[in-house]
Amino acid sequence: MKEMSIEKTEALSLKHEKFFSKKALEMKASETRELLKLVENSNVIS
C-alpha cells in the first residue's frame, strides 16, 4: 500500500512539475512584458 502511494505521489509531482514549469514560463513571459512596459513608460516620463 505504501509503495503504491509513493509511486502515485511521484507521478503526481512529475505532472505538477510539468504544469508549474509551464505556468512559470508563462508568468515569466508576462512579467517580462510588464517590465518592458514599465521601462518604456519611465523612459517617456524622464
Q: How far apart are CA 4 and CA 21, in angstroms?
A: 26
Mean pLDDT by 10 residues, the chain (46 residues): 76 88 93 92 76
Q: Tell me which residue range forms the domain holding 27.
A: 1-46
Q: How far apart are CA 30 and CA 34, in angstroms?
A: 6
pLDDT at 4: 65
pLDDT at 16: 86
DSSP H helical segments within 1-46, as ranges? 2-45
* Number of domains observed in the structure of the chain: 1
